[in-house]
Structure 1
Amino acid sequence: MTEVENGCANGTSTPENKDSDSSGLDSILLRIGQFGKFQIRSYGLIIPPMIFNAYLMCVYIFLTGSVVHRCRVPECDGPNSTYDEPWTEFSIPTMKSSGDLDKCNRFVPYNRSSDMCFADNYDQNSKEGCGIDFIFRDKELYISNDFDIYCLDEWKLSLVGTVSVAGQLVGSPLGGLFSDRFGRRSMVAIGGFTSAVFGIIRSFSPSYYMFLILGFLENVGSGIIYATLFIIGVELVSHRARVLSCSILPMFFSVGEILLAIIAKSVPNWRWILRIGYTPALAHIALIWLLPESVRWLLSRGDEKKAAEVLRNAAKMNKRKVSEATIEKLILENRYKLEKENLTTQFPITKAFKTFPWRIINCSICWFSNVLVYHGLNLNSVLLGGNKYDSFMYLALVEIPAYGLLSLTLNRIGRRFSLFGCLLICGICLGTTIFISKEFYVLQLSLFLVGKMAITISFQCLYFYTSEIFPTNCRNGLLSLCSMFGRIGSMVAPQTVLLAKFNESAPAILFSICALVAGFLALLFPETTDVILPSTVDEAGEIGHKMLDVKDKQGAS
């Protein structure tokens, strides 16, 4: 049997897996079948939570959207006036950057009588605010016009996104600890159910601050869902199918984003957007009884009896046979592995910081930039010209082929140049949109979509890359450190919407610079394609140096 791939990273053999449970377990999974009835049923149960997780993580983009409005002109507007009226040409200023009507100001009239609606009555050099006396363009109800958040108070809209990500920042490490302690299945079921409950309660919020607090609690519960689902999907199959699993499962995250855009477009009411999307998610709790627990987790906890039972059920469902002797051998190997790990476990992160500090710093910068640009593009998609719902949907659609292209890109041109190339393309595309007028909406949107596809590939590539440049004995700790900086990037992303209030090109300029800087920094990483994953800090420090030595010897010969 071939040696085992570590996670989703690659198909290369890794010595660290030889002595692990995966050599025996993967052999059994191959005999049971890669995508038999058991796996299909299990994937069918984890796909809906993945769709819901996308809905939950992105819903605030629409809930906090700034509705299009203008000042009411008392001298001209009546009870039935609409947003577009002929007198707005001389009574409402226009914004130089976009040509749209000013949302918060109107020209000062010389005479405020109701019958003085003509151009000469307005001082074109003097403006005044209009409080909350507005006329709206669309029949939308979001927290902006429900809680009277306009103009100088619009920072409160961006704060919702930051608080939501802060909730995920709190929930992720807690969820990781609980997942290792109580199991993958339980955490997805409880996390999804509690998020749905808080989300439904939030739809009845009578005030902005109640909405904000419930949003934080909701995202504490959701912070564990994506990573745990990803792990469950990977652990369902052997090493031969993990790359495929890693490519397929995230596609349904994009499906969730598309579903969100369709519902928000069909029902532009923030309260019903929450109720429609979150009510079905209450069914998460049923996963405790329907979804089989991860065999790998059961083995890691020493619960061999339940692990053996899951394997027997899987074999029966797939109409395959696995001998009791094979299962018994797996159990014995697992016991040996657990005893060995208990004797040799160490925490060499301090040595890693001394051996390759710049690699860790570089990785943290790349995580921050990737997450900032990825989430920033989703948030700012509603600022593009055209229909904001369609723009968001297009950005979600391009993620699906991006996940499919990922494995081809990684294997053909390597990790380092894949990461560099995708970030470079993203930076150039976003930078080019700065010089394109909104009149050329199709061209602007096309560049935006190419940039989104590139950053999606880059983001997933970074997941793989991070697992390959750090050693086994401190890989999880260093990955958590780098991803923490990514979370900071996702907390900053909602604030980029405020930049557009001062200059509509500012978010694109920021994203372009971040992508380009991270892209060139990616060239400083060592290449890891076809390199055996390092087990120790010393082996990780030698990555790249050994490849140079091999090339030098080949050149000399």
Structure 2
Amino acid sequence: MKLEKIPVEKISTPTPTATTTTTAEDTHLDDIIIRIGQFGRYQICLYILLCLPIVCNAFYSISYIFTASSVDHRCNISQCDNLESTYYTSASFLNFTIPQEKGMGTASAWDQCSHFAFAKTIISLQNESECLAQNFNRRHRVPCEEGYQVSQDERTIASEFGIFCSDRWQLSMVGTVNNIGQFVGIPLGGYLADRYGRKTILVVAGVLSAFAGLARSHAPNYYSFLCLEFLDMAVGSTLFPTAFLMAIELVGPKHRVVAATVISLTYGLAEAGLGYLASYIRDWRILLRVLYTPALLHLLFICLLPESVRWLLSQSQETDAKNTLRKAARVNRKSLPEQHLSELMRSNRQLVAQSAASGGHYTVQQIFHALGWRIAQCCFVWFIHTLLALGLSLNSNSLSGGNKFENFSITGFMQIPGIIFGTILMHRLGRRWALTSLMSSCGIFLLMVMAFEEDYPLIASCLYFLAKMNSTGSFMVLYFFTSEIFPTNCRNSLLSFCSMVGRFGSMLAPQTPLLPLPPFTL
């Protein structure tokens, strides 16, 4: 597609199947980066700092799977339970008062939302207890009418706010509201990052997200929790896309794929760590405080984190850009002749002067006129990826073997080989074919899961994790692909826009556990 007014810049090494047009600015800047070190000490320090927003975003975007998860519960049987009864009370009367449901494989559990109807048929002259098998009709089930006995192993908003059975949709709604917040926050954060700088947005978003999360840990009821969940994502969801772009914008062409891979690996490890952390901290209020307090460290970015050189150049802030490049050269122990900086500034001024948009910013009409079809394709692919990737994580608690914490952590760890595999395919096949092959194989694995889940639950679980692995690899390719095909001045905005449209898929994903389908079916 021919771009008449907006130059499509290169932000990665081209593959055999992908061609990219470069601008004079990128050419000169890449030459300077190669001279001062493509991935030296300066870039490593930058990556260590950017781990904070990446890990925080990994935690915050899916922490609701533990804070708003259902807990084990059963009906309170008033004829048998007493004040000392617990969820794990003796099973002697549970065998004839509460039906059992068959789980995956051979496992079974007490029905959580119904019990056998009480129908007293024996009247003892000695006023015998009503808790007798003969007094319960096994052919007739009734919903819980006398409250619930709840497992004390875990404390979530379900147990604290009394959200069970017919109200379970309220738990799924937390995930949907979380993604609605991302739908609002990601494009807004992307626009503000392009307008006011990557560094500024990382600091503001990180601190505001910390305040929102800590406030949510004190929520007195369900609806205040829901509002703060939305607010948290509305202000903090831009952390990952902004940090991702900032991380790869000062890395040399030779190392940009590796750099993107490191970022994605950090995200996967953070998700896996969240599962283990939640398994030890099973009180949702304490868990939120542990997760959100470190986000206040974003304040240190004011002094420690440099602004993106590419953004500084797009804003004609040449002095700051030159100072950042000089510092990078000094830290990497490389020489940087002033002549090279002068040539970069001269080419940047020509690029800014030629820009059709005043102030260095393109109008929405210009962007969609030049890039409309490309944006539409990206949006569709993002929708599919977010629905599938999040759906696989959320439904992992239905897997046989292990508990929901272990299963969730495994899905996080499976992202690591998925990212590496995706990177290899991206080098071997190019972006397009890597994306296609990974998503196709993911779909095949899920169809095989449906075929094996009844008779071979262990094989089904392995196939499920393989599907998650390929889904993650495909997502990594997509993120990198999207970030390299848009111009600098609107790159963050368009990446955020595609991600925003993809949030429609992630809004639907939290509702999938409610579908009247087999546990693995998405």
Task: State the TM-score, normalizing by the size of structure 1.
Answer: 0.83
Which of 474, 490, 493 is the matching residue for 1:458?
474
Matched residue, 2:190: 176
Q: Does 1:89 align with 2:98?
A: no
Q: Which has the higher contact order (CA 8 A, sep 6+)?
A: 2
Question: How far off is 1:259 after superposition?
Answer: 1.9
- The residue correspondences of 1:353-502 to structure 2 (distance < 5 A) are 363-385=378-400, 386-437=402-453, 440-466=456-482, 482-499=498-515, 502=516
Distance 1:314-1:351 versus aligned 2 partners, 3 A rule: closer
Task: State the TM-score, normalizing by the size of structure 2.
Answer: 0.88
Distance 1:169-1:15 versus aligned 2 partners, 3 A rule: closer
Question: How far off is 1:295 after superposition?
Answer: 0.9
Q: Does 1:16 align with 2:35?
A: no
Unpaired runs of 5+ residues, structure 1, are 511-557
Matched position secondary structure for 1:434: helix
Question: How far off is 1:96 after superposition?
Answer: 5.3
Distance 1:489-1:37 versus aligned 2 partners, 3 A rule: same
Matched residue, 1:67: 71
Distance 1:327-1:469 versus aligned 2 partners, 3 A rule: closer
Matched position secondary structure for 1:347: helix
Between the aligned partners of 1:418 and 1:449, the Cα distance in structure 2 is 19
- Paired residues of 2:265 and 2:419 also in contact (CA < 8 A): yes
Q: Does 1:206 align with 2:220?
A: yes
Between the aligned partners of 2:20 and 2:518, the Cα distance in structure 1 is 52
Which of 101, 105, 113 is the matching residue for 1:104?
113
Unpaired runs of 5+ residues, structure 2, are 1-7, 122-126
- Paired residues of 2:190 and 2:492 also in contact (CA < 8 A): no
Between the aligned partners of 2:348 and 2:31, the Cα distance in structure 1 is 14
1:463 partner letter: Y
Matched position secondary structure for 2:137: strand
Matched position secondary structure for 2:62: helix
Matched position secondary structure for 1:149: coil
Between the aligned partners of 1:282 and 1:393, the Cα distance in structure 2 is 26
- The residue correspondences of 1:81-480 to structure 2 (distance < 5 A) are 81-83=86-88, 85-95=91-101, 99-111=108-120, 115-131=129-145, 133-342=147-356, 347=366, 349-350=368-369, 363-385=378-400, 386-437=402-453, 440-466=456-482
* C-alpha RMSD over aligned residues: 2.7
Matched residue, 1:524: none
Aligned residues: 498
Question: How far off is 1:469 after superposition?
Answer: 7.9
Q: Does 1:509 align with 2:521?
A: yes
Matched position secondary structure for 2:279: helix
Question: How far off is 1:129 after superposition?
Answer: 2.0
Distance 1:379-1:114 versus aligned 2 partners, 3 A rule: farther
Question: How far off is 1:444 after superposition?
Answer: 2.6
Identify the range of structure 1 (199-208 vs 277-286) with the bigger mean alpha-carbon deviation: 277-286
1:105-151 Cα distance to aligned partner (Å, 9 max, x none): 11112239881222221111222222462223451100001100111
Distance 1:445-1:15 versus aligned 2 partners, 3 A rule: closer
Q: Does 1:51 align with 2:70?
A: no
2:468 partner letter: K
Question: How far off is 1:397 after superposition?
Answer: 0.2
Distance 1:205-1:309 versus aligned 2 partners, 3 A rule: same
- Paired residues of 2:387 and 2:506 also in contact (CA < 8 A): yes
Matched residue, 1:526: none
1:118 partner letter: L
2:395 partner letter: N
Question: How far off is 1:409 after superposition?
Answer: 0.7
- Paired residues of 2:42 and 2:332 also in contact (CA < 8 A): yes
Distance 1:276-1:417 versus aligned 2 partners, 3 A rule: same
Matched position secondary structure for 1:170: helix
Identify the range of structure 1 (110-119 vs 480-489) with the bigger mean alpha-carbon deviation: 110-119
1:428-469 Cα distance to aligned partner (Å, 9 max, x none): 222222244478543232111100011111222233455678
